[in-house]
Structure 1
Amino acid sequence: MSDHSTARPRPRAFWADIRFLLGIVLVVVSVVGVWLVVSAARQTAPVFAAARTIVPGDAVDADDLRVVEVALGQLQDAYASPATLEPGAVATRTIPAGELVAKDAVGDAAAVQTTHVVVRTSTALPAAVTPGSTVEVWSAPLLDRGRYDTPRILVASATVVSVSDDESMMGSSGPAVELVIERADVAETLAAISDGSSMSIVPTAGEKP
Structure 2
Amino acid sequence: MRGCSGPYQQLLSQLQRQANLTEDTSSLLEPYIQHQDLNTPILRGSCTEHPGAFPSKDALRGLSKQSFLWTVNTTLGRVLKGLVTLQKQLLKPQDLEELETAKRNIQGIRNNIHCMSWLLNGSSETVEPMPTGPGPWLPLTSALGVFQAKLEGCRFLRGYHRFMGSVGWVFREWGESPSRSRRHSPRRALHKGVLKTRIFRRGKRPVPRGHLPW
TM-score (normalised: structure 1): 0.21
Higher relative contact order (CA 8 A, sep 6+): 2
As a proportion of its length, which structure holds more helix? 2
